[in-house]
A and B are shown apart, each in its own frame.
Chain A
Amino acid sequence: MNLQTSSAARLASALLIAGIVTVGCGRHDAGQGTQPAGTDPAAAASPVAAATLTPPPGDATPDVTASPDASDSAAPAASYSPPATADDPVTGDIQSIDQLLKGIDGSVSGADSGSTGGE
């Protein structure tokens, strides 16, 4: 019985250590991007080092007060600030128009290609 308990305890300890190492490696990889895992074995194996690699909760939480709307609301009512070209809905509309223009091109060339198919 004692032997079984001891074995179970050893197994649990081994699993715990393996778990800590896995978590440490995962966080290390996530933080370092393309840096290969195990570059710093000490840091990866140490729960303390792993914990220091974890960003503080404040960093992970999006700062809703930093949205562009918040700064807009503080601006004078008459101020004018058009959206950046990439986010501009008009840009999206123009891209849709480009697709339709391509379709018209296809229709014109398709009408021509009919006569090359025969009678």
Chain B
Amino acid sequence: MKTPTRSILAGLAVAALLVVSSAAVVTAASPAVAGGPAGKGICVVQATAVKAGVSIETLRAFGDCEVARRYTTLDKLSGRISSSKVLTSSDAAALSSEVASTKSGLVSLKAQIDAESSLDALKAEVRRIATDFRVYLLVVPQVNLVNGADAVQAAKAKFDDVSTKLTARIAAAKAAGKDTTAAQADLDAMNAAVAQAVGLAKPLPGALLPLTPAQYNAGTAGPVLKNSRAALVQARGLLQSARKDAQACRDALK
């Protein structure tokens, strides 16, 4: 009697663990970045209705839908900013402020859209949902790129810890008569790659945070975003290389 009961309990425990593990996998695999596609197709019904016949009602419904999906995106960005473990407090504050002001601007615009009685004025107001705020072309990349740049700084702190430990280990190995030439070369390469990555990432928040929708519309923000992304990709590559160097140094001292 005891054995079947234990088997059942063990089975239940394993099942519970699998459920927890599955949840953890889903969490880990879910996109880290909010506000991406964010339902570009969500407003397709309203857009189709507008195409079928433009009226104040159809256009207002489309505008309200477009505003609502931007709210969703901005709320997700807010959550990402507040839960980020790598954003510096000043960058997080600047991004939170930008997201909040974007949302309050959209709230005001929605009130105008809902109260509008002129079709031509409504058309202009609906266009402003995109042009005045640039949620997807500017705000989403700003939050992500600044977060990435700060993550490079956070990685530097970790690499510094690794460097300290490996330096001590090289000294101990050298004192014991071991040849540490290869290990030292790996460590030097690691430190150089990290320094280069930090050099690329450090200026990014300062360049990205002041960008405005007006600058995007004028064509001056786009190149900054593009160059920042390229710099972050390069910094990521350097950190990946530094990681390999750290591993090689550690292994060379075995």
A63 to B147, CA, bound (A): 49
Closest residue on chain A to residue B28 by CB atoms: A102
Contacts of B134 in A (CB 8 A): 119
Residue from A79, A82, A110 in contact with B254 in the complex, judged by beta carbons closer than 8 Å: A82
Q: Which of B17-35 contact A (CB under 8 A)?
A: 31-35
**Chain B nearest Cβ from A103, distance in angstroms:** 5
CB–CB A116/B37 < 8 A: yes
Q: How large is the interface on A (under 10, 10 to 19, 20 to 34, 35 or more residues)?
A: 35 or more
A119 to B35, CA, bound (A): 12
A102 to B32, CA, bound (A): 9
Tell me what chain B mostly uses at the interface: helix, strand, loop, or mixed. helix
Contacts of B37 in A (CB 8 A): 113, 116-117
CB–CB A110/B158 < 8 A: no
Give 1 or 0 for each of B143-158: 1 = CB within 8 Å of chain A CB.
Answer: 1110110011011001
Considering only CB atoms and an 8 Å cut-off, how many residues of chain B contact the other chain?
A: 61
Contacts of A38 in B (CB 8 A): 2-3
Contacts of A98 in B (CB 8 A): 243
**Chain A nearest Cβ from B124, distance in angstroms:** 15
With contact pairs A97-B243, A107-B232 given, residues A117 and B33 touching in the complex (Cβ less than 8 Å) = no
Residue from A88, A97, A109, A110 in contact with B250 in the complex, judged by beta carbons closer than 8 Å: A88
With contact pairs A78-B175, A82-B253, A107-B145 given, residues A119 and B239 touching in the complex (Cβ less than 8 Å) = no
**Chain B nearest Cβ from A55, distance in angstroms:** 22
Residue from B39, B144, B173 in contact with A107 in the complex, judged by beta carbons closer than 8 Å: B144
Tell me what chain A mostly uses at the interface: helix, strand, loop, or mixed. helix
Q: Which of B221-254 contact A (CB under 8 A)?
A: 225, 229, 232-233, 235-236, 239-240, 243, 246-247, 250, 253-254
**Chain B nearest Cβ from A20, distance in angstroms:** 16
CB–CB B35/A114 < 8 A: yes
Contacts of A13 in B (CB 8 A): none
B211 contacts the other chain (Cβ, under 8 Å)?
Answer: no
8 closest pairs, A vs B, by CB?
Answer: A110-B33, A113-B36, A114-B140, A106-B32, A107-B148, A80-B176, A119-B130, A110-B144
- Can you list 28 pairs linking A and B with CB atoms under 8 Å apart? A80-B176, A82-B173, A82-B254, A85-B250, A89-B165, A90-B162, A90-B165, A93-B162, A93-B165, A93-B246, A94-B250, A97-B159, A100-B154, A101-B239, A104-B236, A106-B32, A107-B145, A108-B144, A108-B233, A109-B31, A109-B33, A110-B147, A113-B37, A114-B138, A114-B144, A117-B36, A117-B40, A117-B135
Which positions in A face B, CB cutoff 8 Å?
A: 25, 36-38, 78-80, 82, 85, 88-91, 93-94, 96-98, 100-119
